[in-house]
Structure 1
Amino acid sequence: MDIQDFEEMFNQIKINFWLIGIPFNEPKLTIRYFIFLFIIITVALAELAFFYSKLSVENLLELTQLAPCTCIGLLSILKIIFITIKRQNIIELTACLKRLYEEVTNSANKWELIKKDIIFLKYLVKYFFILNAILIAVYNFSSLILIWYNYYTKGVIIYSLPYAVLVPFLKDCWYTWLYKYIHLILSGFICVLYFTTVDALYYIMTSHLCSQFAVLSNELQALDESTSHCLRDIVIKHQYILKLSQDLEEIFRAPNLFNVLVGSLEICALGFSLTMGNWAQIPGVVLFLASVFVQILMISVFGEQLIRESRKIGESAFLCKWYNMDKKSKKTILLLMLRANKPQKLTAYKFSVISYESFTKIISTSWSYFTILKTVYTPPDNNYEQVK
């Protein structure tokens, strides 16, 4: 397969940043950014108001059914705000990764080493955007299908909205309903645009850094006494890639924290709805739950990959023919091995490391919340019997 162009892989990210109102090569935000943020914040506040109006033990099942949409909205807002703050860091890191990638693609052997990962990344990002676009379109336009179904079967128009919100006006008139419906579906698309762009950017940058570690490991393992003079350049490049990894951690530590916290709540709420809700809701809940699982799992996969590839530097240093080198080279390799024993990590703002272990912790935490909810919740029929 032909060598993938770096700009081609980043093209969709740049388009999304432009749509959001954060032009990739311009320091200023556009008016569109503030309009979109206002739209999604107003919807999030309306959802929170509805959530607060229903806040009681008797409505616990209904609240858990509403929680995922509200959580995703808040998660998208928080993630895009922190990414906006770090946009200059993103531009600088992208430029550095581009230079390193072009160096790799100039060598056929190096390209063969990372080709599979880059091709996988290309298709992952592509279908990640497509899948989420389809899911939000189905969710947004399901209300129209429901209205048509009620009119066709009952002869009555029942105005329904895709999201539960508290509004200061009646929704029984077609013009007020249409205004709110357009407002909500715009918010839904903006929400998906926000979190898919941030997550895809995370996948791309982390994958490129892992590729650089893999190339460096290969160069290091091939060293012998005749090529020991290249060791200095390898050490400098290793330090440079470590710095880029720290920059990546600084950019994504806040979004990762929100993913961990909100992800636990979403899985808990969806699991509770799945076990305690009615059968008609199962398909939607399962789809939503699978989407949340995949999102958190993919973040953990790339975090684990960075740990693994950065740790391989030490293993590759040990596997090279260091025993035939001079004393200075042996000392340099030993220092390199000691540094590689502390792998690069992406964290949730230093609270936890993003890895397979963190994924299992999220599931464990969600299960703890789930058991608490089941203990607290009493079905309405039981409440009625207790009153009698």
Structure 2
Amino acid sequence: MSKRLSGGEEFDSLIAPVKMLTRFISTWPFDEQDHATDKSIFRFRLFQIIHYAIILGLMFGLGIAVLMDGIRNWGAMEELTECTLIASSFLLCFFRVIIFLFQSKNVLIIVRDMRKDWATSSEEDRKVLRKNCGSSYKLAKFFISSVVFTIIAFMAMPALEIVVLGSEERNLPFRGYFGIDASQSPIYELLYALEVSGGAIGGATIAGVTSFNLVTIMHASAKFSVLQRHISLIKNDDERSKDLLRSCIQEHQKAIEFADRLEEVINKVALGQFLSSTGMVCFAGLQITSMLEDTGRLMKYSSFLNSAIFELFIFSFSGNELAVQSGGIANSGFNSDWVGSSFGKNLQIMMMRATKPSKITAAKFYDMSLESFSTVLSTSFSYFTTLRAVNEEG
């Protein structure tokens, strides 16, 4: 019979894939409590600074190189859209790492609160956490797998074209203009290794940050679900009813604070994601329609399009769930035994506060929701049809 995991151990097990990826790109929060000595902390900090410099340098350098290649091919619509697609992905990864670097304190508090919720909750509350969060951890694993497949497709395809198909043209995984003849050895091999490294880091950034956002937002929604359960259990004839409601009010305030802190971390990432997704879906769709006979490139950009849409859906779905669960507090009060109770007025105040649900926004411009997801897809399709018409006329 397998040993039953404690709440903290269960959380550590669930978060492990996300933690591994975010540690790879140094966005997992640094906790000094994990280090025994000041010397150990200094070594880790030094390694982290060097790691950040390598990651940011690669992402920015490759993004600019691909952008320069797009400028050189300004007149060719297919070449330009391909370069814009890849450059925006690298530069978006660059800004994501920057944002998480400056939000490291908030990220550390968020992770500590998540583990504390799992470690200190009752078994009944943990069931609610599993019900609300369990699917998000599975979805995060699936998204990580899809990004890994996409990155491998991009990195391996040029080599397969040479080895398997016998192509004489030496292409790089992500294009780019470097001011030298990139087709000659050993320059080609060095640049190939550089782009493979950049692709691995870029893929880890996309998968790690997005999956982190997913599981933290869904955890925030689960906190409100647990609170709904606690409110519904308050009975009028219970002598502790006032104390129980007071505890629920404090729990509500903590849940709102957690969601607000999460919004502060994610809102700029969400804005970049929503703006870039509009272009990515549009450009990837254009690339797919222009290379229906090129099986290798068709597979690459089909997987890219699927990952872009999936990533946008993850942001939208989790944000929508948070708004629904936090707003549900207003209705959960009716499930308690409030008729003729002494705590009715206090419950009413909490319900009134819940009419303004917690939300994750795109830098306060619009909310992350399933409605915004459909809007972005509709806008992307409109841009796609316009670009395709321009390309056909050209």
TM-score by length of 1: 0.89
1:142-291 aligned at under 5 Å gives the runs: 142-151=157-166, 157-227=168-238, 228-229=241-242, 230-280=244-294, 281-291=297-307
- Corresponding residue for residue 70 of structure 2: 51
1:310 corresponds to which of 309, 319, 326: 326
Q: Is the 8 A contact 1:147 1:160 kept in 2?
A: no
- Corresponding residue for residue 383 of structure 1: none
Quick one: which amino acid aligns to residue 240 of structure 1?
K
When residues 351 and 50 of structure 1 are mapped into structure 2, their CA distance, relative to the original with a 3 A threshold, is: same
2:135 corresponds to which of 117, 120, 144: 120
- CA deviation after TM superposition for structure 1 residue 121, in Å: 2.8
2:387 corresponds to which of 361, 373, 378: 373
Quick one: which amino acid aligns to residue 345 of structure 2?
K
Deviates more, 1:30-39 or 1:355-364: 30-39
Sequence identity of aligned pairs in percent?
23
TM-score by length of 2: 0.88
String of CA shifts for 1:145-197, please: whole Å, max 9, x gaps: 1111343xxxx743221111112111232201001100111110010111211
Distance 2:57 2:14 in 1: 30
**Residue 316 of structure 2 is aligned to residue 296 of structure 1:** no
- CA deviation after TM superposition for structure 1 residue 123, in Å: 2.3
- Corresponding residue for residue 56 of structure 2: 37
Distance 1:300 1:165 in 2: 32
Q: Is the 8 A contact 2:92 2:272 kept in 1?
A: yes
Distance 1:141 1:368 in 2: 32
Distance 1:341 1:174 in 2: 65
Distance 1:183 1:263 in 2: 26
Structure 2: gaps spanning 5 or more residues: 33-40
Deviates more, 1:246-255 or 1:200-209: 200-209
Q: Is the 8 A contact 1:80 1:194 kept in 2?
A: yes
- Corresponding residue for residue 61 of structure 1: 78
**Residue 370 of structure 2 is aligned to residue 356 of structure 1:** yes
String of CA shifts for 1:333-371, please: whole Å, max 9, x gaps: 111111111111000000110000110111122123223
Distance 1:375 1:127 in 2: 35
Q: Is the 8 A contact 1:300 1:354 kept in 2?
A: yes
String of CA shifts for 1:9-66, please: whole Å, max 9, x gaps: 333344334322456225843312211211221111110000111113xx11222233
Distance 2:231 2:389 in 1: 56
- Corresponding residue for residue 37 of structure 2: none
- Corresponding residue for residue 24 of structure 1: 30
String of CA shifts for 1:247-278, please: whole Å, max 9, x gaps: 00000000000000000001111222333444
3-state SS of paired residue (2:186): helix
Structure 1: gaps spanning 5 or more residues: 381-388
Distance 2:333 2:68 in 1: 58
**Residue 116 of structure 2 is aligned to residue 77 of structure 1:** no
String of CA shifts for 1:314-351, please: whole Å, max 9, x gaps: 1101221211312xx11111111111111110000001
When residues 376 and 350 of structure 1 are mapped into structure 2, their CA distance, relative to the original with a 3 A threshold, is: same
When residues 284 and 134 of structure 1 are mapped into structure 2, their CA distance, relative to the original with a 3 A threshold, is: closer
Deviates more, 1:111-120 or 1:45-54: 111-120
- Corresponding residue for residue 95 of structure 1: 112
Quick one: which amino acid aligns to residue 66 of structure 2?
E
When residues 171 and 20 of structure 1 are mapped into structure 2, their CA distance, relative to the original with a 3 A threshold, is: same
Distance 1:100 1:115 in 2: 12
How many residues of Structure 1 are paired with residues of Structure 2 in the alignment?
A: 370
